Structure 1
Amino acid sequence: MKEKLLELFEQNRGTLISGSDIAKSLGVSRAAVNKAISGLRDSGYKFDATSRLGYVFSEKNDIISPSGIYKYLNGNKHKIVHLDEVNSTNTALKELAQNGAQEGTVVVTEMQTGGKGRRGKRFFSPRGCGVYFSLLLRPRLKAADSVFITVAASVAVRRAIKLLLHADTQIKWVNDVYFNNKKLCGILTEASMEIESGYLNYAVLGIGINIKPPENGYPEEFAFKTTNLSEISHPLPDDLKNKLIAEVLTQFDRLYETLEQKDYIEEYKEASCILNRKIEILAGSYAGPAVAEDIDSDANLIVRLPNGNTAALNSGDVSICL
């Protein structure tokens, strides 16, 4: 009932709809409509000033919902699963994947209690402050090439923000989107591999984008290296969360169709915020200072080491020396 009502209101944002028309459309009583709308209000949805004439779903509502996302998506590639709160959207989606969920399934949430980053890092995911979602993929792709999913996703996020907020963001190899030298978006791809073939069984692509700061500020470990979309655009556009999720999915779908052609690598390279800068390599066969010189056609980071030699990094993590 709630989702059907939300779908009706999403299709008629800012338009007065009478209670009797709603009841007729949904095939329920007026009392059921009133109860459902009270439930929406309790969930945080706002209705503009109304009288006995009916209800006006506010243009200012910015709460994630399947119907809100579908409104901005073209086609039926995705099944949206909304969970109010979850440990991690990646973890939740992996469970669905193991039970046969179809490619294109998306888990979205308002809050992660155990949001994950690379190398066991925490991704801070407070309620109402960002969009946190994971996409299930079943590509015929070798496990070694799964990095291209992450690379394409970072380009998709960058394109979506450019379209919706008219702002240029940067990409920090291999999986973060930055603005003004601070982390705006984290991307984590986790995969299940077929041991015998070396190909992926499935991949779960997790994306978290910071929309606004938490009321009490960021925890100390994130405070000086985290940013959000409210620092790019103020005020933020109406219904940004649903629009942003839909646009990232749309942009990624286009890149995914020709993933192995790697047409997005040049854009990824051009958006890099670490090339020609001193960096610290944090993990891998070598850990220590280097200079980031290039990103090759396989998305490897080409670095110059203190001894003058070059090395190609295909995994690991780096930090920028400011």
Structure 2
Amino acid sequence: MATQTEVLKLLQQTAPDYCSGDQLAQQLGLSRTAIWKAIQGLQTTGYAIESRHGLGYRYLENNQLDMTTIKSQTNSSQPYELIVLPTVDSTNAYLKRLATREPLTNPVVVVADTQTAGYGRSGRNFYSPSTTGLYMSIGLPIGPQQPLDAGLLTTSTAVVVARTLQQLFHVEVSLKWVNDVLVNHYKVVGILSEAVTDLESGQISTVIVGMGFNLTTQGFPTAIEHKAGAIAGPQSTVTRNQVISTLLTDFFAGYPTYMTGDFLPAYRQLSMVIGKQVELKSGADVILGTVQDIDATGALVVLTTNGQVRHLSSGEITKVNLLTGDYHG
């Protein structure tokens, strides 16, 4: 397995060019036979490696989730652990179990091809088919004296997600406060932040930021087909590894300063609700009004129908009155 990993790294470094078997053998101090066996092993496990007589081997990007590819393409000085799973009940639930057993010392990123029990806000099911979607969670250790603002963390993550989609897919993205990312007025990404509390101290020890992407997903269940959509068409050449590495690079670059709210101008620019009439559920309350702004803490500023200005740090927008009438969520 170690030989396969080293061969894969070299092929990825030279891609899309070919690398001869002799070059690989010399650089790794191995025999040509060992190189050939490593290539065979990589191809068997799903890597797209093309071989051509007289040229050698070359790595071709495909949509298989791969730890080596993600790590090599992520540009960050932040040490983190990456866990790639073929299937899981929920990436958030997996991380909660992990953090409960043993406190995290560095961020842990969990990525899965499919979820059997993915969930969003209020425990709603999150449709999680394999291959066409992407499901990932970032677990962040929180020290005893470390400040935390869940609202700012969630909204900053939404901006990172939006930038990733704009950069890779060249689509127009909008954000519905607080955790929905939309393309063409359909929800394509959901974000859910959760906390793990240390039982002895009662303090938050870990924050988990989960994200579910409908990359090229089609055929949604009837209950959500009117509001869920895909980021791109089935012929998209953007790989899931590219999405993960681009997102992690941006996320870890901004995480040290997210408490400053320096991303909020970008969030406001992407917001689809500022200036719109909304119906919002906050706890047992149903609030009607017009969104005026997103304040410095990431809270929604709403002028209610009875003339009050309220700053809401939690809740869910259940209806948005858009002049275009295009919004489906």
Instruction: Determine if the TM-score, normalized by the shorter chain, exceeds 0.5.
Output: yes
RMSD: 2.7
Q: Which residue of 2 aligns with 1:8?
A: 10
Shift of residue 119 of structure 1?
1.0
User: Is residue 10–residue 67 contact of structure 1 (8 Å, CA) maintained in 2?
Assistant: no
Secondary structure of the equivalent of 1:115? coil
**Matched ranges for 1:209-224 at <5 A:** 209-214=213-218, 217-224=219-226
- Alpha-carbon distance change, 263 to 122 in structure 1, aligned in 2, over 3 angstroms: same
Q: Which runs of 5+ in 2 are unaligned?
A: none
User: Whole-Å Cα distance in 2 between the matches of residues 210 and 299 of structure 1?
Assistant: 25
Alignment-derived partner of residue 130 in structure 2: 127
Deviations 1:213-248 (A, max 9, x none): 24xx111122121222215xx85345x322221121
Correspondences of 1:241-320 after superposition (within 5 Å):
241-287=240-286, 289-320=288-319
Aligned equivalents of 2:31, 2:223: Cα separation in 1: 52
The separation in 1 between residues aligned to 2:272 and 2:128, in whole angstroms, is 24
Q: Is the 8 A contact 1:191 1:204 kept in 2?
A: yes
Q: Secondary structure at the match of 2:243?
A: helix
Tell me the residue number matched to 1:67: 68
Listed as ranges, the matches of 1:44-55 within 5 Å are 44-48=46-50, 50-51=52-53, 54-55=56-57
- Displacement of 1:320 in angstroms is 3.2
Q: CA deviation at 1:87?
A: 1.0
Q: Deviations over 1:138-168 (max 9, x none)?
A: 235456x222111110011112222223333
Measure how far apart 1:266 and its partner are.
2.2
Instruction: Render the CA deviation track for 1:113-159: whole Å, top value 9, x for unaligned.
Output: 1112111112212111122211121235456x222111110011112
* Secondary structure of residue in 2 paired with 1:230: coil
SS in 2 for 1:122: coil
Counterparts of 2:202 and 2:311, CA distance in 1: 22
Q: Cα 1:104–1:303, aligned 2, differ >3 Å: closer, same or farther? A: same
Cα deviation, 1:169-209, whole Å, max 9, x if unaligned, reads 11110111111211111111111235897753111111122
**Is 1:190–1:203's contact at 8 Å kept on the other side of the alignment?**
yes
Which one of the candidate residues 152, 158, 167 is aligned to 1:154?
A: 158
Q: Does 1:104 align with 2:107?
A: yes
Correspondence for 1:236: 236
Q: Which residue of 1 aligns with 2:178?
A: 174
Distance 1:5 1:218 in 2: 39
Q: Secondary structure at the match of 2:114?
A: coil
Q: Give the aligned partner of residue 58 of structure 2.
A: 56
Q: State the partner residue of 2:208.
A: 204
- Once residues 99 and 11 of structure 2 are traced to their aligned partners in structure 1, the CA distance between those partners, rounded to angstroms, is 31
Evaluate the alpha carbon distance shift between residue 6 and residue 122 of structure 1 in structure 2; reply closer, same or farther with a 3 A threshold: farther
SS at match of 1:62: coil
SS of alignment partner, residue 254 of structure 2: helix
Instruction: Indicate if the aligned counterparts of 1:269 and 1:295 stay in contact, CA closer than 8 A.
Output: yes
In structure 2, the partner of 1:83 is 85
1:111, distance to aligned residue in structure 2 (A): 1.1
Distance of 1:6 and 1:210 partners within structure 2: 28
Give the counterpart letter for 2:296 in structure 1: S
Structure 1 residues 10 and 114, CA gap change in structure 2 (3 angstroms): farther
Letter in 2 for 1:258: T
Comparing 3-12 with 193-202, which one deviates more in the overlay?
Answer: 193-202
**Contact 1:72/1:246 (8 A) holds in 2:** yes
How far apart in 2 are the matches of 1:27 and 1:222?
55
- Is this contact kept in 1: 2:103–2:141, CA < 8 A? no
Q: Which amino acid aligns with 1:120?
A: G
Name the counterpart of 2:197. Answer: 193
Whole-angstrom distance in 2 between the partners of 1:203 and 1:261: 18
Give SS of 2:285's match: coil
Q: What runs of 5+ residues in structure 1 fail to find an aligned partner?
A: none
Task: Work out the CA distance in 2 between the residues paired with 1:222 and 1:10.
Answer: 39
* Cα separation, 1, equivalents of 2:202 and 2:266: 29
